[in-house]
A and B are shown apart, each in its own frame.
Chain A
Amino acid sequence: SYVLTQPPSVSVAPGQTARITCGGNNLGRKSVHWYQQKPGQAPVLVVYEDSDRPSGIPERFSGSNSLNTATLTISRVEAGDEADYYCQVWDSASDVVFGGGTKLTVL
Protein backbone atom coordinates (compact mmCIF):
# COMPACT_ATOMS: atom_id res chain seq x y z
CA SER A 1 0.00 0.00 0.00
CA TYR A 2 1.08 3.56 -0.66
CA VAL A 3 2.46 5.44 2.35
CA LEU A 4 2.64 9.19 2.97
CA THR A 5 5.03 10.36 5.69
CA GLN A 6 4.66 13.64 7.56
CA PRO A 7 6.61 15.03 10.51
CA PRO A 8 4.52 14.79 13.69
CA SER A 9 5.04 18.42 14.58
CA VAL A 10 6.27 21.74 13.27
CA SER A 11 6.69 24.91 15.33
CA VAL A 12 6.94 28.45 14.06
CA ALA A 13 6.81 31.96 15.48
CA PRO A 14 4.03 34.33 14.39
CA GLY A 15 4.88 36.17 11.20
CA GLN A 16 7.36 33.54 10.09
CA THR A 17 7.00 30.88 7.41
CA ALA A 18 5.93 27.32 8.19
CA ARG A 19 6.81 24.46 5.88
CA ILE A 20 5.13 21.10 6.32
CA THR A 21 6.42 18.20 4.26
CA CYS A 22 4.78 15.07 2.95
CA GLY A 23 6.94 12.27 1.59
CA GLY A 24 6.06 9.38 -0.69
CA ASN A 25 7.53 7.23 -3.41
CA ASN A 26 7.46 9.16 -6.70
CA LEU A 27 5.06 11.60 -5.05
CA GLY A 28 5.86 14.18 -7.71
CA ARG A 29 3.86 12.10 -10.18
CA LYS A 30 0.70 12.36 -8.10
CA SER A 31 -1.66 15.21 -7.21
CA VAL A 32 -1.28 16.14 -3.55
CA HIS A 33 -4.01 17.77 -1.52
CA TRP A 34 -3.72 19.41 1.91
CA TYR A 35 -6.27 19.75 4.69
CA GLN A 36 -6.34 21.87 7.82
CA GLN A 37 -8.12 20.48 10.87
CA LYS A 38 -8.71 22.44 14.04
CA PRO A 39 -9.71 20.70 17.28
CA GLY A 40 -13.25 19.39 17.24
CA GLN A 41 -13.80 20.38 13.62
CA ALA A 42 -13.92 18.65 10.27
CA PRO A 43 -10.94 18.99 7.94
CA VAL A 44 -10.92 21.86 5.48
CA LEU A 45 -9.25 21.66 2.07
CA VAL A 46 -6.58 24.37 1.86
CA VAL A 47 -4.57 23.28 -1.19
CA TYR A 48 -5.51 20.89 -3.99
CA GLU A 49 -3.67 19.49 -6.98
CA ASP A 50 -0.29 20.35 -5.47
CA SER A 51 -0.62 24.13 -5.50
CA ASP A 52 -4.15 25.39 -6.15
CA ARG A 53 -6.22 27.11 -3.48
CA PRO A 54 -9.98 26.73 -3.04
CA SER A 55 -11.90 29.95 -2.92
CA GLY A 56 -11.72 31.59 0.46
CA ILE A 57 -8.32 30.20 1.37
CA PRO A 58 -5.75 32.97 1.95
CA GLU A 59 -2.87 33.39 -0.47
CA ARG A 60 -0.57 32.75 2.48
CA PHE A 61 -1.20 29.04 1.88
CA SER A 62 0.74 27.56 -1.00
CA GLY A 63 1.96 24.16 -2.08
CA SER A 64 4.60 22.47 -4.17
CA ASN A 65 5.40 18.92 -5.18
CA SER A 66 8.52 17.44 -6.71
CA LEU A 67 10.26 14.08 -6.80
CA ASN A 68 9.40 12.40 -3.50
CA THR A 69 8.28 15.36 -1.39
CA ALA A 70 5.34 17.73 -1.33
CA THR A 71 5.42 20.85 0.80
CA LEU A 72 2.68 23.00 2.26
CA THR A 73 3.99 26.50 2.92
CA ILE A 74 2.18 28.93 5.18
CA SER A 75 3.58 32.45 4.98
CA ARG A 76 3.19 35.11 7.67
CA VAL A 77 1.86 32.54 10.11
CA GLU A 78 -0.93 33.66 12.43
CA ALA A 79 -2.15 32.21 15.70
CA GLY A 80 -5.29 31.03 13.89
CA ASP A 81 -3.20 28.77 11.66
CA GLU A 82 -2.46 26.48 14.60
CA ALA A 83 -3.99 23.16 13.59
CA ASP A 84 -3.29 19.67 12.33
CA TYR A 85 -2.44 19.44 8.64
CA TYR A 86 -2.88 16.33 6.49
CA CYS A 87 -1.67 15.56 3.00
CA GLN A 88 -3.67 13.21 0.76
CA VAL A 89 -3.28 11.54 -2.61
CA TRP A 90 -5.12 9.06 -4.73
CA ASP A 91 -3.13 5.97 -5.59
CA SER A 92 -4.19 3.38 -8.15
CA ALA A 93 -3.51 0.51 -5.75
CA SER A 94 -4.43 2.07 -2.40
CA ASP A 95 -7.16 4.53 -3.46
CA VAL A 96 -7.48 7.47 -1.04
CA VAL A 97 -4.42 7.78 1.20
CA PHE A 98 -3.81 10.30 3.99
CA GLY A 99 -0.55 11.19 5.63
CA GLY A 100 -0.29 10.77 9.37
CA GLY A 101 -0.75 14.47 10.02
CA THR A 102 1.43 17.29 11.31
CA LYS A 103 0.58 19.43 14.30
CA LEU A 104 1.49 23.05 13.61
CA THR A 105 2.25 25.00 16.77
CA VAL A 106 2.45 28.78 16.66
CA LEU A 107 4.87 29.81 19.37
Chain B
Amino acid sequence: QVQLQESGPGLVKPSQTLSLTCTVSGGSVSGGDYYWNWIRQPAGKGLEWIGRIYASGNTNYNPSLNGRATISADASKNHFSLRLSSVTAADTAVYFCASSDVGTTEIDSWGQGTLVTVSS
Protein backbone atom coordinates (compact mmCIF):
# COMPACT_ATOMS: atom_id res chain seq x y z
CA GLN B 1 0.00 0.00 0.00
CA VAL B 2 1.34 3.40 -0.98
CA GLN B 3 1.82 5.89 1.82
CA LEU B 4 2.04 9.64 1.23
CA GLN B 5 3.04 12.58 3.41
CA GLU B 6 2.67 16.24 2.55
CA SER B 7 5.10 18.91 3.71
CA GLY B 8 5.59 22.61 3.14
CA PRO B 9 4.92 26.07 4.55
CA GLY B 10 1.62 26.55 6.28
CA LEU B 11 1.47 30.26 5.52
CA VAL B 12 1.94 31.97 2.16
CA LYS B 13 1.56 35.65 1.35
CA PRO B 14 -0.88 36.80 -1.33
CA SER B 15 0.58 36.97 -4.86
CA GLN B 16 3.40 34.57 -3.90
CA THR B 17 3.87 30.94 -4.89
CA LEU B 18 2.65 28.05 -2.77
CA SER B 19 5.05 25.10 -2.75
CA LEU B 20 4.28 21.66 -1.32
CA THR B 21 6.03 18.32 -1.47
CA CYS B 22 4.61 14.83 -1.13
CA THR B 23 7.00 12.11 0.02
CA VAL B 24 6.07 8.64 -1.19
CA SER B 25 6.75 5.25 0.35
CA GLY B 26 5.59 1.87 -0.91
CA GLY B 27 5.69 3.04 -4.50
CA SER B 28 7.97 4.79 -6.96
CA VAL B 29 7.16 8.16 -8.51
CA SER B 30 9.10 7.03 -11.57
CA GLY B 31 7.84 3.45 -11.67
CA GLY B 32 4.89 3.88 -13.97
CA ASP B 33 2.38 2.07 -11.77
CA TYR B 34 0.64 5.14 -10.34
CA TYR B 35 -0.72 8.55 -11.07
CA TRP B 36 0.34 11.11 -8.47
CA ASN B 37 -2.36 13.66 -7.68
CA TRP B 38 -2.88 16.88 -5.77
CA ILE B 39 -6.35 17.66 -4.38
CA ARG B 40 -7.45 20.50 -2.13
CA GLN B 41 -10.34 21.28 0.19
CA PRO B 42 -11.20 24.74 1.54
CA ALA B 43 -12.52 24.75 5.08
CA GLY B 44 -16.08 23.49 5.19
CA LYS B 45 -16.19 22.88 1.44
CA GLY B 46 -15.78 20.03 -1.00
CA LEU B 47 -12.85 18.40 -2.75
CA GLU B 48 -11.21 19.98 -5.80
CA TRP B 49 -8.78 18.06 -8.01
CA ILE B 50 -5.75 20.16 -8.89
CA GLY B 51 -3.79 17.88 -11.19
CA ARG B 52 -1.62 14.80 -11.61
CA ILE B 53 1.76 13.67 -12.83
CA TYR B 54 2.65 10.35 -14.36
CA ALA B 55 6.01 8.63 -14.30
CA SER B 56 6.95 9.87 -17.74
CA GLY B 57 6.53 13.43 -16.56
CA ASN B 58 3.21 13.90 -18.29
CA THR B 59 0.93 16.20 -16.37
CA ASN B 60 -2.75 17.12 -16.40
CA TYR B 61 -4.33 20.06 -14.60
CA ASN B 62 -7.74 21.36 -13.62
CA PRO B 63 -8.50 24.15 -16.14
CA SER B 64 -10.16 26.19 -13.42
CA LEU B 65 -6.71 27.01 -12.05
CA ASN B 66 -5.90 28.94 -15.25
CA GLY B 67 -2.39 27.62 -15.61
CA ARG B 68 -1.24 28.55 -12.10
CA ALA B 69 -0.45 24.99 -11.01
CA THR B 70 2.72 23.07 -11.81
CA ILE B 71 3.38 19.50 -10.67
CA SER B 72 6.80 17.93 -10.88
CA ALA B 73 8.50 14.79 -9.58
CA ASP B 74 11.96 13.97 -8.25
CA ALA B 75 12.79 10.30 -8.66
CA SER B 76 15.99 10.57 -6.59
CA LYS B 77 13.99 11.67 -3.56
CA ASN B 78 10.88 9.71 -4.49
CA HIS B 79 8.66 12.71 -4.05
CA PHE B 80 6.45 14.93 -6.16
CA SER B 81 5.66 18.58 -5.74
CA LEU B 82 3.04 21.23 -6.33
CA ARG B 83 3.67 24.86 -7.10
CA LEU B 84 0.69 27.22 -7.27
CA SER B 85 1.50 30.74 -8.36
CA SER B 86 -0.16 34.09 -7.72
CA VAL B 87 -2.10 32.81 -4.72
CA THR B 88 -5.01 34.63 -3.13
CA ALA B 89 -7.10 33.99 -0.04
CA ALA B 90 -9.27 31.72 -2.18
CA ASP B 91 -6.36 29.26 -2.33
CA THR B 92 -6.47 28.75 1.43
CA ALA B 93 -7.25 25.08 1.88
CA VAL B 94 -6.11 21.71 3.11
CA TYR B 95 -3.97 20.23 0.35
CA PHE B 96 -3.86 16.46 -0.09
CA CYS B 97 -1.49 14.41 -2.17
CA ALA B 98 -2.95 11.15 -3.37
CA SER B 99 -2.30 8.24 -5.72
CA SER B 100 -4.30 6.21 -8.15
CA ASP B 101 -3.33 3.05 -9.98
CA VAL B 102 -2.60 3.50 -13.66
CA GLY B 103 -5.56 2.19 -15.62
CA THR B 104 -8.08 3.07 -12.92
CA THR B 105 -9.91 6.31 -12.15
CA GLU B 106 -10.45 6.03 -8.42
CA ILE B 107 -8.06 7.57 -5.92
CA ASP B 108 -7.13 4.89 -3.45
CA SER B 109 -4.36 6.32 -1.27
CA TRP B 110 -4.30 9.74 0.35
CA GLY B 111 -1.89 11.70 2.49
CA GLN B 112 -3.18 13.15 5.73
CA GLY B 113 -3.38 16.65 4.24
CA THR B 114 -1.69 19.90 5.12
CA LEU B 115 -3.33 23.26 5.75
CA VAL B 116 -2.04 26.18 3.73
CA THR B 117 -3.26 29.65 4.64
CA VAL B 118 -2.83 32.58 2.29
CA SER B 119 -2.56 35.76 4.31
CA SER B 120 -0.32 38.77 4.68
Contact = CB atoms under 8 A, between A and B. Distances in A.
A95 B60 contact: yes
Interface residues of B, number: 21
A107 interface: no
Given A95-B60, A95-B62, A96-B37, A45 B106 contact: yes
18 contacts: A31-B105, A33-B106, A41-B112, A42-B110, A42-B111, A43-B47, A43-B107, A44-B110, A45-B106, A45-B107, A49-B104, A49-B106, A88-B47, A89-B105, A96-B37, A96-B62, A96-B105, A96-B107
Interface residues of A, number: 23
B67 interface: no
Interface of B: 37, 46-49, 52, 60, 62-64, 96, 98, 104-108, 110-113
Interface string A57-83: 000000000000000000000000000
Q: Which 6 A-B pairs have the closest CB atoms?
A: A90-B105, A96-B49, A42-B110, A33-B106, A48-B106, A98-B47
Interface of A: 1, 31, 33, 35, 41-45, 48-49, 54, 86, 88-90, 95-101
A94 B110 CA distance: 21
A81 to B, nearest CB: 19
B46 A48 contact: no
Contact of B48 (A41, A45, A98): A98
Contacts of B48: 98
A15 B95 CA distance: 35
Contacts of A97: 49
A100 B42 CA distance: 12
